[in-house]
Amino acid sequence: MGTIAKIHEMLVSKQCSCAELTKSYLDEIEKSNGELNAYVNVTGDEALKTAEKVDKKIASGEEIGMLEGVPMTLKDNLSTKGVETTCCSKILTGYKPIYNATVWDILQSQNSVMLGKTNMDEFAMGSSCETSYFGGATNPFNTKHVSGGSSGGVASAVGANIAAYGLGSDTGGSIRQPASFCGIVGLKPTYGSVSRYGLIAYASSLDQIGPITKSVEDASIVFDAISKYDDKDSTSKGFSGDTYSSLNNDIKGMKIGIAREYLDGVRDDVKEAVLNAAEVYKSLGAEIVYFDLPALKFALPVYYIIACAEASSNLGRYDGIRYGYKTEHYNGTHDMICRTRSEGFGEEVKRRILLGTYVLSAGYYDAYYKKAQNLRGTIVKAFNEAFTHCDVILAPTVPMTAFEMGRAVSDPIETYLTDICTVPVNIAGLPGVSVPCGFNAKGMPIGMQLIGKSFGEAEILNAAYKYQQAAGENFKDTKWGVKL
């Protein structure tokens, strides 16, 4: 049984009250957050208020929904009315949104108990959570290691059982990569299935909100709840049907594809774990097919060009006038804006803004931005073609396991390479789920990725669930957090 279902049963059967449960989560946060640095803002009072509401409902004999009363967390780039939302950037310190992100509207209306906002790379730009203005979240398996990024805080909190689940955002791997590093499940949904309204944009054409959970069934439950059409988001389509009812479908005859390019440059321990997973699938009656996907070679530069271009535009609005940080000393409006931005943004964010400005500027637009857009079309087409050979694609999530804190900061390009297996999914707008598939010699988790067709969430979650059932030993608890 997944964490969410377990909590639901505990509440319904009155094994504990929602307030007691919430308190124990808050206590564990108190104990561990110093070392994990997963939460940047704990909202205990609000959490307890909601918990009491849920308890009243239960006491009065009313039925409660599956997510009702379940203690959870949101990445700090999801807008929460009245609750500070900073993207872990100095430039948004003190900013309290006056509206809710649509996903939070949905979950709040179901009495979700939000424990607080979690750590992330500044504006979701990073792969280790270390570009956060508040310092990086650490890995529950070994706190000398990074949690991954950018949704490192959510992954750390869920991995450490100080949140039952959380929502992150994924622009180039920011849900899947930290989920993989922290030994848990992370689903990046199809572009358009979850509303982006209220998600503070990094790269609008790539960003997508999704669940980070302990188990595949939890990911399915949360995805089914949040994947609604939203008329506030012009790119929203919503997800028709659900994924939960087909989780346990037989996968006999399912064609699982492995693109050789995905295994290039991947560390041996990771490759081995992924190929072992392929064996598990074979034993479940699935068919493994190998194929080539040469377009993947260009995915990483295409991703960085498009993401940075969009980011340079999305981040122009932080000017010290309407919200957030404003510099103390300046001489005129232009000077105020430049100082505010130079002081308010961290180095990685500035680097990406500059790169994005460069590739859009006169004389370079055609060679970089336009060319990258064309290649994006090529990559979309290549995936469509690939899905004529197979139903889902199996790949590593990250070419490596969680590295030690401090390593990512030194070389930007080396750091960018950690995203090589995750970015293609964002470029093509496809769904991808990272599932734990083993541990390396040092006991750090390894994740594999199942990639589906557009709006093929039901298929990849079905395949992931079947794997979880067959290889449950890869889903491990850590020493931290609430023991249910």
Partner 1 sequence: MKYELVAGFETHIELATKTKIFCGCTTQFGGEPNTHCCPVCIGLPGTLPKLNRQVVRYGIMAGLATHGEIAEISKMDRKNYCYPDLSKAYQISQLYAPLTIGGYVELSSGKKIRLHHIHIEEDAGKLIHQHGDTYVDYNRGGVPLIEIVSEPDIRSIDEAREYVEKLQQVMRYIGISDCKMQEGSMRCDVNISVRPAGSEKLGTRTEIKNMNSINNICKAMEYEFERQVDLIESGGQVVQETLRYDDATNTTSSMRSKEDAHDYRYFRDPDLVTIHVTKDEVEEIKASLPELPTEKCKRYVDELSIPEKDAQLLTKYRNISEYFDKACKGVKSPKTVSNFIIGQIFSRVETESDKEIFDVAVSPEQLNELVKLLDSGKIRNNLAKATLEKMLDSGKGALEFISESDMGGLDENAMLELCRQAVESNAKAVEDYKNGKEKAIKALVGFVMKNSRGKADAAAAEAKIKDLIG
Partner 2 sequence: MVTREDVENIALLSKLFVPEEELDSLTQSMQEIIDFADEINKAPSSDEAFDNINNLSNVFREDEVVESYNSEEILKNAPEQAENHFLVRNRE
> 75 vs 341, which CB is nearer to partner 2?
341
CA distance 191 to 206: 7
- The residues near 110 (Cβ < 8 Å, ≥ 6 apart) are 65, 67, 68, 225
CA distance 179 to 173: 10
In angstroms, give the least distance from the CB of 374 to partner 2.
Answer: 5
75 catalytic residue (yes or no) = yes
By CB under 8 A, tell whether 357 contacts partner 1.
yes
* ∠ CA 256-261-264, rounded to 5°: 120
Counted residue by residue, the chain has a size of 484
Half-sphere exposure of 87 (CA within 13 A, CB side): 25
| Interface characters, 282-321, with partner 2 (x: CB under 8 A) | ---------------xx-xxx-xx------x---x--xxx
180 catalytic residue (yes or no) = no
174 catalytic residue (yes or no) = yes
| Catalytic one of 132, 147, 174, 236 | 174
CA distance 435 to 474: 9
By CB under 8 A, tell whether 95 contacts partner 2.
yes
How far is Cα of residue 469 from the mean position of the Cα atoms in its chain?
23
Residue numbers 192-221 binding partner 2 by CB under 8 A: 192, 205
In 218-303, which ranges are E strands?
Answer: 255-259, 287-291
By CB under 8 A, tell whether 374 contacts partner 1.
no
By CB under 8 A, tell whether 479 contacts partner 1.
no
Q: Which of 241, 294, 316, 377 lies at the binding interface for partner 1 (CB under 8 A)?
A: 316
By CB under 8 A, tell whether 228 contacts partner 2.
no
> 192 vs 431, which CB is nearer to partner 1?
192
By CB under 8 A, tell whether 416 contacts partner 2.
yes
What's the burial of 344, exposed, middle or buried (CB within 10 Å: 0-12/13-18/19+)?
Answer: buried
| Interface characters, 372-391, with partner 2 (x: CB under 8 A) | xxxxxxx-xx----------
Q: What is the DSSP letter of 201?
A: P
3-state SS, 320-374, equals CCCCCCCCCCCCCHHHHHHHHHHHHCCHHHHHHHHHHHHHHCCCCHHHHHHHHHH
How far is Cα of residue 75 from the mean position of the Cα atoms in its chain?
9
Q: Are 395 and 262 in contact (CB under 8 A)?
A: yes
The structure tokens listed for 331 are: 């001489």
Which amino acid is located at 293 in the chain?
L
| Catalytic one of 75, 188, 214, 466 | 75
> 118 vs 449, which CB is nearer to partner 1?
118
Residues at the contact surface with partner 2, assessed by CB under 8 A: 94-96, 98, 191-192, 205, 231, 234-235, 237, 297-298, 300-302, 304-305, 312, 316, 319-326, 329-334, 336-339, 341-342, 345, 350-351, 353-355, 357-359, 361, 367-368, 371-378, 380-381, 412-413, 416, 428-429, 454
Which residues are known catalytic residues?
A: 75, 150, 174
Residues at the contact surface with partner 1, assessed by CB under 8 A: 77-79, 85, 87, 92, 95, 97-99, 101, 196-201, 203-205, 231-235, 309-310, 312-313, 316-317, 319, 321-323, 332-334, 337, 357, 360-362, 365, 369, 373
